[in-house]
Each structure stands twice: as C-alpha cells, then as structure tokens.
Chains A and B, each alone.
Chain A
Amino acid sequence: MNEKLPDSPDWTRREFLAGTSAALVVAAAAAGTLEAQTPGAAPAIAVDPAVPHSTIRLTVNGVARDVEVEDRWTLAELLRDRLGLTGTKIGCDRGECGACTVLVDDQPVYSCSNLAVWMDGRRVTTVEGLSNGGPLTPLQQAFVAHDAAQCGFCTSGQLMSATALLKRNPRPSAADVKAALAGNLCRCGNYNRYVDSVVAAGGGVRSSVGGDQ
C-alpha cells in the first residue's frame, strides 16, 4: 500500500490520505502528545482529562507501551486514533463484520468490542505487525497471488483470523479455513479467493471452487 501517487512523487497514498484527515483534526490534536507510529499517520487524539481514564501497559506489535486511555475507548480506537495503526479497520463497530480483527495473545478478537483498558498486560498484534515493515509473510504473499482483496477493507481482518488459524493448524483444509474466517465478512463476496489463499499459504493446493470465478 505504499505506492507513489502519480502526480505527487514525494507522497505515498497513505501519507496523502493521512495528511488530508490530519488537517481536519490538527487544532484538536495540537495540545496532545503525538504518538504516530505509521509515517504520515494522523496525529493521535488525546485523552480528555474530564473523562474517566486509565494508564495501561500493553505490547503492540512487539513494542511495550504505556498508554493513557479513556475507559470508554475500544481497542480499535486506541490502535487507530491514538497509536496511528490504521491498518485495523472499523466497519460495523458492533462485533459483526470482522474488519477490526486483531490478535490478543495470539487469538483473533474484535477490537471494536473490547475496551482498550482491558488490554492492560496483553499482547496485541495488528496487521502492521505481521511483517513489521519487512518482507510480506507467506500468507500475505498468498493473498496477493490469489487476488484475495477486492476493495480491501476487510482484508486486514481476514489476514489476522487466517494468521491465527495457521499458527494453530499449519495445513488447514478449505473447511478449516471457512470455519476460521466465519467471523470476517467480505461485502465484495471474495470469500473463495480468501479461502484459496489461506489453503495455499498452508501448502495445500485444493481449490475451494472449480476454475475461476
């Protein structure tokens, strides 16, 4: 996702998008400490001191962090709005779509349906932590090879559920993959490509569908 925009060689798409949204919130963020992890990400939102808040220590993508959070913040809000990890998406914000899936202590959970304050002492992995800026994981490469993403909005969630599956079951069948991805909706309907990708990443060759779609 770091391709250069054709007319602005110095800007990546992510930086451009983050920059435009940053302009909208720059006044609000001016007083806060900026904790952006992702280059060019929007400035972090700050805790409103008038709202119940807590300090937690958690590990995010291998980095231990002490973070102040409002008690009402979801983990998804902490990751995106405070830590700048916008690879985690918020779709329904009700624990129904799976776009916000991250790993907590290696288990996939809906980050929109877990409070940030409950993550004290926990280990969180987001899509940014899969390859940590290095080469893509075999699973991510399989997603690319199989055109798994269409619009891409659900993709990071699909990756996290599939990553957890492969850790527990390195050579899953198509049925195993379907069960593991049951909590990740894809409005583009690209389920078969997702299943094929994960089966392939596990070394399997059997396609979930005959021929192309």
Chain B
Amino acid sequence: MKTFTNSNARDPQQAVKLARDAHAAGKAASFVAGGSDLLALVKERIIQPDVLINLRGLQNASEVTSSGGAVTIGAGISLDALSRHETIRTQFPALAEAAGSVATPQIRNVGTLGGNVAQRPWCWYYRNGFPCYKNGGNQCFSFAGENQFHAIFGGGPSYIVHPSDTAPALMALDATFRIVGPFGERTVSAKDFFVLPRQNAAQENVLGADDVLVSIQLPAAMAGARGRYHKVLDREAWTHAVVSAAVVLKMDGDVCRSARVVLGGVAPIPWRLPEVEQLLAGQRITDDLAVRAGAASIAGARALSKNAYKLPLTKGVVRRAILEARG
C-alpha cells in the first residue's frame, strides 16, 4: 500500500482538527473507522491519502442511548453489535435487519453504522478507476455501458446506486444525522443528508472533507412500529442489494396509520416512495393492497439498457416487504 500516517483521534473535534491541519498543509486526509471500504479504495489507488484519521478510538462512539423512546446511536457502533442490540431489534427492527444483512460476519464485526452509510459506491467503473463523476471526471460510463446494476430512479448525470443497506432503513425511520465539522455541530434529516447526482455528482451525501458523522438519532414516533428490510441479492450471501426495501408500518390494530417505504439498490440515494406510503395509510394491509403497492412502486422509474429486470423485481420486493412487515 502507499505510505500514509495513521493519526488516532480521541474525540470528533480533534478528528476535525487533524483533518483541517492536514488539508491546510496540502495533504490528502481521510477519516477511517472500520476501514473495510477505505483500505480497498487506497489499495486500488482510487484515493491516495497522506493521513488516515482513525475514528476507532473515539470515546462513546458506539453507544446506544434512549431518551423518551427516541434512540441515539453512535456512528461507530459495529454493524454486528447494531444488528444484535436489544432495543434496536425490538423497537426498530428494520434497522437491525438491515445491519445484519450487510456483507459478511468479518465485515460486520468491524464495519460501522457511520461507515456503512457513508461508504462510496460500488459501481465497477468507479472502483476500476474510470474517470467518471465519482473519480473527478465528467461522464458516467454506465449510461452507455454495463449498467445492469445501476439506477432506475434518480439517475443522471451519474447512475450509481447507493450501496448501503442501513441507509434505506434509516430513511424509513425518519433518522437524523449529527455531524461535527469545522464550524461546530449540525443535525441533518435523512432527506437532506443524501444528495442526488444532479445536486452534486461527485458525492453521495452532504459530508464535507472535514466533517465527521458522529451519531444517528431515531425519533420516538417510530419506536415500536413494525418494520422489515427485505434484500434481494444476485447470490445468497456477501454482496450488495440488487433491490431492497425498508418498510416501516405504524399500525392501529390491523389498520396502517402511516407507512414508510424506502428502496435500496435502485437509485443514487435511498429512494423513498411517498405515493406508495399514501396508498397504505389508513388502510388494512391486505394481500391485494400489497400487490397494488408493488405495482405503484415503479411509477416514474426509467430503466437503462440492461437493468429493466429491476422494474418487476422492485414490484415484488415492495409487495413482499410490506406483507412481511405486516406479519
């Protein structure tokens, strides 16, 4: 691997300062927590940091704290710990399932919630160093190329799909993201945290080069809602979602009071389906309603040359996720 200096940060403020100092000195710096994604990018020379700012030692970075039903999750919690956490499993099951579905045990043991949300896309053009939007270039090679895993919603000018499993669940749970940066702290809603390529084709979220994602909060209003993360892969294990759906249903007896349906694997950001949610709100979740919700889920979708299979797949995933969430 290329040489770099590892700098251990004690707290987010020190991490931000280390990044600012490195950037001010003309050095490339990257934050790293689990490192599974980051070291792969360094080995492939997609990024070439001079300084790695290690967030593994941040105090309280992996704590889960509850307050009046709301839960704050340290971004440094491992995906394995998150998937097994009692409060998350019982109160926010879609997130526990999403975390448990990521990659492999070895990656879930070190991979963090923050890193899973902020990982870079797994588009093969990006990962192989093509000069695409994500690599500082000005085209998306997938549009006229090998796009079988690319976006059917929200694409253009880049057609990557957001690779995170936890991100759709977080959006379905109305999560907010606490960020520490050079100008202090700020809290950003899921709606504003993820950015489409037409807003900024080079990155997938609002995190700046000196920003640290510190924690993620789930509101009390979502605690105890029924939830499901349904993930379809092109093999049984160890890959990203071809299509996934996070569904959260707030039930009143057998009537759905309100719903959240968010797709993974189909758009450059976790893709919320407000029309489908409205279809479910105020209704008994019948098998027939789930079929209609599935059918409505691809309204506005546009397939590329090689990914039209994602349209019927999305319909089926949405239908099944709704029925599984209903129980």
* CB pair A109 B2 closer than 8 Å: no
Contact indicator A118/B35 (Cβ below 8 Å): yes
Which of B1, B4, B236 lies in contact with A74, CB distance below 8 A? B1
Known contacts: A74-B1, A93-B43, A115-B39. The answer to whether A110 contacts B6 by CB under 8 A is no
Evaluate contact between B109 and A113: CB separation under 8 angstroms: no
* A71-B4, A72-B4 known; A183+B106 contact, CB < 8 A: yes
Please tell me if A1 contacts chain B, counting CB pairs below 8 Å: no
List, in ascending order, chain A residues with CB within 8 A of B137's CB. none
CB closest chain-A residue, reference B108: A183
Contact B6 A95 (CB under 8 A): no
Q: Distance (Å) between the CB of B37 and the closest chain A CB?
A: 9
Q: Which residue of A lies closest to B110 (CB)?
A: A109
Asked if A109 and B106 make an inter-chain contact with CB atoms under 8 angstroms apart, the answer reads yes
CA distance in complex: A166, B319 (Å):
37
- In the complex, A71 Cα to B242 Cα: how many Å? 36
List chain A residues, Cβ under 8 A from B39.
74, 95, 113-115
* Nearest CB in chain B: distance from A136 CB, A: 23
- B:156-187 near A, CB below 8 Å: none
Q: A72 CA to B105 CA in the complex, in Å? A: 24
Q: Which of A71, A113, A118 contacts B36 (CB 8 A)?
A: A113
Taken together as a complex, chains A and B put the C-alpha atoms of A178 and B291 apart, in Å, by 33
With both beta carbons as reference points, the residue of chain B lying nearest to A164 in the complex is identified as: B105
Give min CB distance, B56 to chain A, whole Å: 6
Contact residues of A with B, CB < 8 Å? 51-52, 54, 70-72, 74, 93-96, 98, 101, 104, 107-110, 113-115, 117-118, 161, 164, 178-180, 182-183
In the complex, which residues of chain B have a beta carbon less than 8 angstroms from the beta carbon of A113?
35-36, 39-40, 107, 110
Once the chains bind, are A108 and B105 in contact (CB under 8 Å)? Answer: yes
* Subset of 13 A-B contacts with CB under 8 Å: A52-B5, A70-B3, A72-B1, A96-B238, A104-B109, A107-B80, A110-B107, A113-B39, A114-B39, A118-B56, A180-B105, A182-B238, A183-B237
In the complex the two chains form, what is the Cα distance from A204 to B236 in whole Å?
24
A94 to B238, CA, bound (A): 13
Q: What is the minimal beta-carbon distance from B100 to any residue of chain A, in angstroms?
A: 10
Question: Among the interface residues B6, B56, B104, B110, which one has the most CB atoms of the partner chain A within 10 A?
Answer: B104
Q: Which residues of A contact B2 (CB under 8 A)?
A: 72
CB-defined contacts of B279 to chain A, threshold 8 Å: none
Whether B296 sits at the interface, judged by CB under 8 Å, is no
Q: Please give me the 6 A-B residue pairs with the lowest Cβ-Cβ distance, nearest first.
A: A183-B104, A182-B237, A52-B5, A71-B6, A107-B109, A183-B106
Are A95 and B238 in touch, CB under 8 angstroms?
A: no
Interchain CA distance A182-B237 in the complex, whole Å: 6
Instruction: Using A110-B36, A113-B40, A118-B54 as known contacts, say yes or no to A52 and B106 having CB atoms under 8 A apart.
Output: no
A118 to B35, CA, bound (A): 10
> In residues 62-115 of chain B, which contact A (Cβ within 8 Å)?
80, 103-107, 109-110
A170 to B260: give the CA distance in the assembly, Å: 39
Taking a contact as CB atoms under 8 Å apart, the answer to whether A95 and B40 are in contact is yes
Q: A52 and B3: CB pair below 8 A?
A: yes
Q: Which residue of A lies closest to B78 (CB)?
A: A107
Which residues in B have their C-beta under 8 angstroms from that of A179?
105, 237
Q: Mark B261-296, 1 if CB is under 8 A from A, else 0.
A: 000000000000000000000000000000000000
CA distance A98 to B104 in the complex (A): 9
Contacts of A74 in B (CB 8 A): 1, 39
Q: Which B residues are CB-close (under 8 A) to A52?
A: 3-6
Residues of A within 8 Å of B3, CB to CB, are: 51-52, 70-72
- A95/B105 contact (C-beta < 8 A), A51-B3, A71-B3 known: no
Q: Determine if B35 and A115 form an interchain contact, defined as CB atoms under 8 angstroms apart.
A: yes
In this complex, the member of B2, B56, B105, B109 whose beta carbon has the largest number of chain A beta carbons within 10 angstroms is B105
Mark interface residues in B218-260 (1 if CB within 8 Å of A CB, else 0). Answer: 0000000000000000001110000000000000000000000
Residues of B within 8 A of A117 (CB): 6, 54
In the bound complex, what is the Cα–Cα distance between A14 and B236 (angstroms)? 37
* Contact pattern, B 1-21, Cβ under 8 Å of A = 1, otherwise 0: 111111000000000000000
Residue ID in chain B nearest A72 by CB atoms: B1
User: Across the interface, which residues of B come within 8 angstroms of A96, CB to CB?
Assistant: 238
CB distance from B18 to the nearest CB of A (A): 14
In the assembly, what is the distance between CA of A74 and CA of B2, in Å? 12
B105 close to A110 (CB less than 8 A): no
**Neighbouring B residues of A98 by C-beta, 8 Å:** 104, 106
Chain A residue at minimum C-beta to C-beta distance from B38: A113
Q: How far is the CB of B156 from chain A (nearest CB, A)?
A: 30
Min CB–CB distance B170 → chain A (angstroms)? 23
